[in-house]
Amino acid sequence: MEGLADDVLRAVLTSAGGYDWCVTEFVRVTTTVLPHSCFTRLSPELKNASRTASGTPVRIQLLGSDPAMLAANAAHLALLAPAGIDLNFGCPTPLVNRNRGGSALLDDPELLQRIAGAVRKAVPPSIPVTAKMRLGIEDTDRALDCALALEAGGMQELVVHARTKQDGYRPLVRWEWVARIREAVRLPVIANGEVWKLADYRNICAATGCADVMLGRGAVADPLLARRIREGGAEHAVAADWDELKNMIAGFWAQVQLKLPPHQSPGRLKQWLGLMQRSYPQAALMYGAIRELRRAAEVSLALQRCGLILVSADPTDCHPDFPPGGLEFSSLQHSHPAPA
Ligand SMILES: Cc1cc2nc3c(=O)[nH]c(=O)nc-3n(C[C@H](O)[C@H](O)[C@H](O)COP(=O)(O)O)c2cc1C
């Protein structure tokens, strides 16, 4: 998820288990073949056999409208051996759509097929190529045509976000359309949208006939949801989960400080806790404690007051402009060293 599920959050979330694979934020392809550094910046996991630290495969998502350019970029990306390449036909944001990308292409199934076919052909068969779509732009009239076009283009899996572009993120989700698509195509269909708890997963599988779901915001709100779905654990988040989550938050905070400049790192933590408070009251308290804070060092202190044991992260992985030893890092690393 763009601006949210970066490599740091992917590492933390997948460490809890329950994921078959995950996908990067989208890379926009326009008129050039992007350098490898663009892909490795977005997905440092490419240097780790395209897996998160805990071993979850990471697919790289491309977004664009030019079949030839998408194919050229996919071929170049394939040299880095990604665990998969995913094509985005779901993004509803005006900037992306104005440039004919994401869900704006859902009125043109023929173009979808050409894009899918060109990318599939450009990439070795060993690399899965998959697609993600919404149900349409303003209505669902072409939903089946789009899904069939992506299948004809050789996609191996299809994630269907059960809304049109016009639906945005309204609570209404059109599961019946995911069911229709699943019945119309032979490739595996993965249902996406509004999975926040175990019961949502069960209801959605029942309504769509899909065996799998893709978690979006629910994965961020409840970092243990995927595991709970896989293992059939407690119906809701339980109090005992919070100890595990505190460790995840501490790890995330350490890594975010290494990746981002000090004025940006508090925002990332607030973003995560802001979503997590939907599932955990303790996260709401923590969010309240840091909401007004701007400096990383102040946030570290507030987190400790909330009972977090701060850890230091691998300094070789740091933001080049903000090496450890700077004011913000020294307060993190020297005042609260990781337990031996
Ligand atoms: C902040 C944000 C960024 C997103 N970025 C992407 C993206 O880069 N690629 C993508 O396929 N979907 C993206 N999505 C859509 C989600 O993957 C998902 O399809 C959508 O949120 C519906 O699922 P949910 O209700 O479980 O969140 C984004 C959603 C949000 C809220």
Active-site residue set:
91
pLDDT category at 166 given cuts 50, 70, 90 is very high
| Higher-pLDDT residue of 93, 240 | 93
Using the mean position of ligand 1's atoms as its centre, give its distance from the Cα of residue 186 in Å.
Answer: 25
Ligand 1, closest atom to CA 163? Answer: 22
Q: Do the beta carbons of residue 76 and residue 32 sit within 8 Å?
A: no
Confidence (pTM) = 0.91
Q: How many residues does the chain have?
A: 340
- Which residue's C-alpha comes closest to atom 21 of ligand 1? 216
Using the mean position of ligand 1's atoms as its centre, give its distance from the Cα of residue 192 in Å.
Answer: 9
Given a cut of 60, is residue 178 above it in pLDDT? yes
Which three-class secondary structure state does DSSP give residue 328? helix
Angstrom distance (rounded) from CA 106 to CA 127: 25
Residue 87: which of 19, 150, 161 has the closest Cα?
150
DSSP one-letter string for 272-318: HHHHHTTT-HHHHHHHHHHTT--SHHHHHHHHHHTT-------GGG-
Using the mean position of ligand 1's atoms as its centre, give its distance from the Cα of residue 213 in Å.
Answer: 13
Angstrom distance (rounded) from CA 154 to CA 134: 18
Q: Which tens digits make up the pLDDT trace of 28-49?
A: 999 999 999 999 999 999 999 9
What proportion of the chain, given as a percentage, has pLDDT over 70? 92
Largest pairwise CA distance in the chain:
60
Using the mean position of ligand 1's atoms as its centre, give its distance from the Cα of residue 304 in Å.
Answer: 31
Q: Do the beta carbons of residue 192 and residue 161 sit within 8 Å?
A: yes
- Which residue's C-alpha comes closest to atom 6 of ligand 1? 1
Given a cut of 90, is residue 329 above it in pLDDT? no
313 to each of 146, 220, 259, 264, how far by Cα in Å? Answer: 44, 21, 10, 17
Ligand 1, closest atom to CA 214? Answer: 26
Output the ligand 1 site: residues, CB below 6 A: 1-4, 25-26, 61, 88, 90-91, 132, 161, 192-195, 215-218
Q: Which tens digits make up the pLDDT trace of 230-269?
A: 998 777 777 789 999 999 999 999 999 999 998 999 999 9
- Residue 324, pLDDT score: 36
- Residue 94, pLDDT score: 86
Given a cut of 90, is residue 217 above it in pLDDT? yes
- Residue 248, pLDDT score: 97
85 to each of 12, 239, 311, 316, how far by Cα in Å? Answer: 22, 38, 34, 28
Given a cut of 70, is residue 339 above it in pLDDT? no
- Which residue's C-alpha comes closest to atom 30 of ligand 1? 1
- Which residue's C-alpha comes closest to atom 29 of ligand 1? 1
Ligand 1, closest atom to CA 195? Answer: 26
pLDDT category at 75 given cuts 50, 70, 90 is very high
Angstrom distance (rounded) from CA 133 to CA 131: 7
Given a cut of 90, is residue 187 above it in pLDDT? yes
Q: What's the mean pLDDT in 183-205?
A: 97
Complete domains list, the chain, with CATH: 7-231 (3.20.20.70), 241-333 (no CATH)
| Higher-pLDDT residue of 278, 235 | 278
Mutate to test the pocket of ligand 1, among 217, 222, 275, 276 (most ligand atoms within 8 A of CB): 217
What is the end-to-end Cα distance of the chain in Å, rounded? 35
- Amino acid in the structure at residue 303: L
- Residue 323, pLDDT score: 38
pLDDT category at 96 given cuts 50, 70, 90 is confident
Q: What's the mean pLDDT in 102-125?
A: 97
- Residue 313, pLDDT score: 65
44 to each of 10, 57, 128, 290, how far by Cα in Å? Answer: 11, 12, 19, 29
Buried b (16+ CB within 10 A) or exposed e, 99-112: eebbbbbbbbbebb
- Amino acid in the structure at residue 102: G
- Residue 322, pLDDT score: 41
Ligand 1, closest atom to CA 161? Answer: 19
- Residue 333, pLDDT score: 26
Q: Do the beta carbons of residue 100 and residue 65 sit within 8 Å?
A: yes
Using the mean position of ligand 1's atoms as its centre, give its distance from the Cα of residue 161 in Å.
Answer: 9
Q: Which tens digits make up the pLDDT trace of 289-315?
A: 999 999 999 999 999 999 999 987 655
Given a cut of 90, is residue 105 above it in pLDDT? yes
